[in-house]
């Protein structure tokens, strides 16, 4: 589970850049993070034991069944801890509560299975354990459908459902060929065995649908890592179920085996995803931000290849001429049409990206324009207000910019403003929001940054601008800036009020001689 360990390390600290601009790692791994790392190591040890020392005797069965009990309940607890994080929105908390119920349902199935097989030495299939296992699937898909991030436009929602349907049909063809059809053809002694053997593949189709919805929807940035782990876990569950069903059909499953390894890593991925979600809930990434047109999803086309692949496989073995030739031609036509559609989608995305850039980016500085800045800043304000996190605004103005324009011309002034914007951006973090406020004024919003840290950042920005002249076509120009700093903790009741405080501090800095940073304080005078 290298993916899980890397992901936990990624959220083990939210420390801002230090004075030198490098990412800080000042906080140790949290307790939840250590649980996730321990779970990954536990799963790796279990996999090694199954491959090296596992067997079909009673001792191996006892160990193999008991090994799932701690990891299953840990996954449920971590999901509930994520659901209890107040910084998350209501829909996300509800989704993680449903995930917790799904994991606990699977854990109940494991407990019952352990009791019958390891303690009483009774064959646990069929048994009450199946009720716990089968309840996992609807609860998990309910959690997926409860998560925010679904397209808001009706046409986009329709396209997502079409793509998800394509994936489900492709998955159905694979699961039908590998599991359902052989199960139906295999005559069991009891009807309940037959029903359960079909119920689990149907549950796998539910997971396939859930994976498709997770991959096709566009979540907010802070949910992406957690959702990737949910996708990983659901995919491993499907592989485990199919592998187990194939082994069970041939009566070759005895004791802990490869399917158990997949189930173990799936539960570990679920657990780690819950840890990731909880720790990023208070970070800037948890706001649902429109990240642009995204990219063309390859998932429906992969499902197309899978479905036609199985059809070609069967046609090559069973179909006779001319049917096999027609099947081959139909597959070829479909693949060519799909390739043409992907090309058209890529071109549409390119054009859409260009339009979005024109609408959101200031053409001179390359920063967010005023409208785009306020959209992002309002979301940061909402997040900070919801989680009581610190938030600071910097207002920056080029000293004597009018003199630069008058003496050197507006072209040189544009070059100066572009260079100042670039130097400011280099001193800020990727989570900071910076934009052009108007004229020669720039504005930045610093999430999770208190006043004392922001003053340091402001001084670093001011020093970076003054460090060397800006090279223009007319020669080098010395540039200085003044910076006003205000924090939400000072009593601002809205984003506009916070920016007004930073603007007042900026005027004070200019009145006090320019080329300096000034923090806002109650009663600060604004020059008329």
3 state SS for 93-115? HHHHHHHHHHHHHHHHHHHHHHH
- Of the listed ranges 212-216, 276-280, 469-473, the least confidently predicted one is 212-216
Last residue of a domain, one of 225, 254, 284: 284
pLDDT for the residue numbered 58: 86
Q: What's the pLDDT band for 71 if we cut at 50, 70, 90?
A: very high
pLDDT for the residue numbered 324: 65
This model's pTM is above 0.95: no
pLDDT > 70 in the chain, percent: 77
Residue 404 maps to a domain: yes
- In this prediction, residues 264-278 reach a mean pLDDT of 93
| One domain for residues 388 and 280 | no
Q: What's the pLDDT band for 152 if we cut at 50, 70, 90?
A: low
Distance separating alpha carbons of residues 138 and 511, to the nearest angstrom: 65
* Closest among 375, 382, 374, 392 to 428, alpha carbons compared: 392
First CA to last CA distance, the chain: 62
| One domain for residues 245 and 388 | no
| One domain for residues 396 and 280 | no
Tokens read off for 482: 């003044």
Q: Where are the alpha helices (DSSP H) in 250-369?
A: 258-280, 299-318, 323-360
pLDDT for the residue numbered 174: 77
Edge-first strand order for the sheet with 481-487 is: 433-438, 441-447, 391-398, 481-487, 517-519
Neighbours of 76 (CB within 10 A): 23
* Closest among 33, 39, 19, 504 to 267, alpha carbons compared: 39
Collapsing DSSP to helix, strand or coil, 269 comes out as helix
For residue 502, is pLDDT > 70?
yes
Tokens read off for 383: 């997040």
For residue 327, is pLDDT > 70?
no
Tokens read off for 27: 């906080």
For residue 271, is pLDDT > 50?
yes
Better pLDDT: 70 or 168: 70
pLDDT for the residue numbered 151: 57
Buried b / exposed e along 108-120 (16+ C-beta atoms within 10 A): bbbbbbbbbbbee
pLDDT for the residue numbered 184: 67
| One domain for residues 258 and 379 | no
How do 441-447 and 433-438 pair as beta strands? antiparallel
Q: Which residue's structure tokens are 């409860």? A: 146
Chain-centre distance for alpha carbon 125:
37
Q: What's the pLDDT band for 336 if we cut at 50, 70, 90?
A: confident
| One domain for residues 80 and 201 | yes
Query: What's the mean pLDDT when you consider all of the chain?
Result: 80
Better pLDDT: 247 or 469: 469
Residue 341 maps to a domain: no
Q: What's the pLDDT band for 359 if we cut at 50, 70, 90?
A: confident
- In this prediction, residues 145-169 reach a mean pLDDT of 73
- Of the listed ranges 7-16, 397-406, 407-416, the least confidently predicted one is 7-16
- In this prediction, residues 16-26 reach a mean pLDDT of 37
- In this prediction, residues 406-410 reach a mean pLDDT of 90
Q: Give Cα separations from 467 to 127, 463, 464, 477 (angstroms).
A: 75, 6, 5, 12
Q: What's the pLDDT band for 498 if we cut at 50, 70, 90?
A: very high
Q: Give Cα separations from 149 to 76, 221, 298, 440 (angstroms).
A: 23, 10, 19, 36
pLDDT for the residue numbered 188: 56
- In this prediction, residues 247-259 reach a mean pLDDT of 79
pLDDT for the residue numbered 341: 67
- In this prediction, residues 46-54 reach a mean pLDDT of 89
Last residue of a domain, one of 284, 316, 345: 284
Neighbours of 165 (CB within 10 A): 14
Distance separating alpha carbons of residues 192 and 283, to the nearest angstrom: 49
For residue 1, is pLDDT > 70?
no
| One domain for residues 53 and 163 | yes
Tokens read off for 312: 């070609």
Q: Which residue's structure tokens are 């993916």? A: 3
| One domain for residues 267 and 136 | yes
Q: Which residue's structure tokens are 């995305």? A: 349
| One domain for residues 257 and 401 | no
pLDDT for the residue numbered 281: 67
- In this prediction, residues 339-348 reach a mean pLDDT of 70
Last residue of a domain, one of 244, 268, 284: 284
Contact 97, 83 (CB under 8 A): yes
For residue 4, is pLDDT > 60?
no
- Of the listed ranges 162-171, 251-260, 290-299, 363-372, the least confidently predicted one is 290-299
Residue 7 maps to a domain: no
Contact 211, 235 (CB under 8 A): yes
Domain count, the chain: 2
Distance separating alpha carbons of residues 69 and 112, to the nearest angstrom: 10
For residue 8, is pLDDT > 50?
no
| Residue 478 Rama label (left phi>0; alpha psi -120 to 50; beta) | beta
pLDDT for the residue numbered 28: 45
Residue 17 maps to a domain: no
Residue 377 maps to a domain: yes
Chain-centre distance for alpha carbon 432:
19
Q: Give Cα separations from 35 to 71, 274, 278, 328, 333 (angstroms).
A: 10, 11, 13, 51, 51
50-55, long-range: CB < 8 A, 24+ apart: 50/256, 50/257, 50/258, 50/260, 50/261, 51/261, 54/255, 54/256, 54/257, 55/255, 55/256
* CATH code, domain carrying 407: 3.30.70.270
* Closest among 511, 503, 518 to 454, alpha carbons compared: 518
| One domain for residues 277 and 374 | no
Neighbours of 410 (CB within 10 A): 10
For the ranges 220-224, 291-295, 414-418, the one whose mean pLDDT is highest: 414-418
pLDDT for the residue numbered 294: 53
| One domain for residues 102 and 240 | yes
Residue 304 maps to a domain: no
Contact 424, 365 (CB under 8 A): no
pLDDT for the residue numbered 244: 84
Residue 114 maps to a domain: yes
Range of the domain at 204: 32-284
* CATH code, domain carrying 58: 1.20.1070
Residue 338 maps to a domain: no
How do 475-477 and 470-472 pair as beta strands? antiparallel
């Amino acid at each position: 589970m290298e993916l899980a360990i890397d992901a936990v390390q990624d959220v083990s600290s939210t420390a801002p850049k230090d004075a030198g601009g490098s990412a800080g790692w000042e906080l140790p791994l949290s307790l939840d993070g250590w649980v996730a790392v321990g779970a990954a190591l536990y799963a790796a040890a279990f996999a090694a034991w199954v491959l090296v020392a596992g067997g079909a005797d009673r001792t191996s069965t006892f160990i193999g069944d008991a090994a799932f009990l701690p990891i299953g309940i840990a996954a449920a607890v971590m999901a509930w801890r994520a659901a209890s994080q107040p910084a998350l929105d209501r829909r996300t908390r509800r989704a993680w509560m449903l995930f917790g119920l799904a994991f606990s349902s699977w854990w109940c199935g494991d407990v019952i299975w352990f009791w019958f097989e390891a303690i009483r030495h009774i064959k646990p299939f069929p048994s009450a354990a199946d009720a716990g296992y089968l309840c996992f699937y609807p609860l998990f898909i309910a959690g997926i459908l409860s998560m925010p991030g679904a397209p808001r436009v009706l046409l986009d929602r329709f396209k997502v459902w079409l793509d998800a349907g394509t994936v489900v049909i492709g998955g159905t063809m694979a699961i039908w060929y590998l599991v359902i059809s052989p199960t139906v053809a295999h005559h069991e002694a009891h009807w309940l065995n037959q029903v359960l053997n079909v119920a689990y593949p149907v549950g796998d189709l539910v997971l396939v649908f859930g994976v498709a919805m997770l991959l096709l929807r566009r979540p907010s940035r802070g949910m992406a890592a957690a959702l990737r782990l949910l996708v990983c876990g659901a995919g491993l569950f499907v592989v485990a179920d199919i592998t187990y069903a194939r082994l069970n059909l041939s009566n070759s499953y005895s004791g802990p085996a490869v399917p158990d390894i997949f189930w173990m890593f799936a539960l570990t991925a679920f657990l780690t995803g819950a840890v990731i979600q909880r720790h990023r809930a208070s970070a800037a990434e948890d706001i649902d931000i429109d990240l642009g047109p995204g990219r063309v999803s390859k998932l429906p086309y992969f499902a197309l290849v899978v479905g036609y692949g199985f059809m070609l496989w069967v046609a090559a073995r069973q179909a006779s001429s001319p049917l096999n030739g027609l099947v081959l031609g139909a597959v070829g036509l479909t693949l060519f049409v799909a390739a043409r559609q992907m090309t058209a989608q890529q071109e549409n995305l390119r054009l859409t990206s260009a339009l979005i850039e024109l609408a959101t980016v200031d053409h001179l500085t390359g920063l967010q324009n005023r409208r785009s800045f306020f959209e992002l800043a309002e979301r940061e304000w909402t997040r900070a207000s919801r989680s009581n996190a610190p938030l600071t605004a910097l207002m920056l103005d080029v000293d004597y910019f009018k003199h630069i324009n008058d003496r050197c011309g507006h072209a040189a002034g544009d070059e100066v403003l572009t260079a100042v914007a670039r130097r400011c951006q280099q001193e800020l973090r990727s989570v900071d929001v910076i934009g052009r406020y108007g004229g020669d004024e720039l504005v930045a919003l610093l999430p999770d940054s208190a006043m004392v840290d922001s003053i340091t950042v402001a001084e670093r920005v001011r020093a970076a601008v003054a460090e060397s002249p800006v090279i223009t076509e007319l020669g080098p120009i010395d540039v200085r800036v003044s910076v006003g700093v205000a924090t939400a903790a000072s009593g601002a009741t809205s984003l506009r009020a916070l920016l007004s405080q930073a603007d007042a501090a900026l005027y004070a800095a200019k009145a006090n001689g320019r080329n300096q940073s000034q923090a806002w304080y109650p009663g600060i005078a604004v020059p008329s």
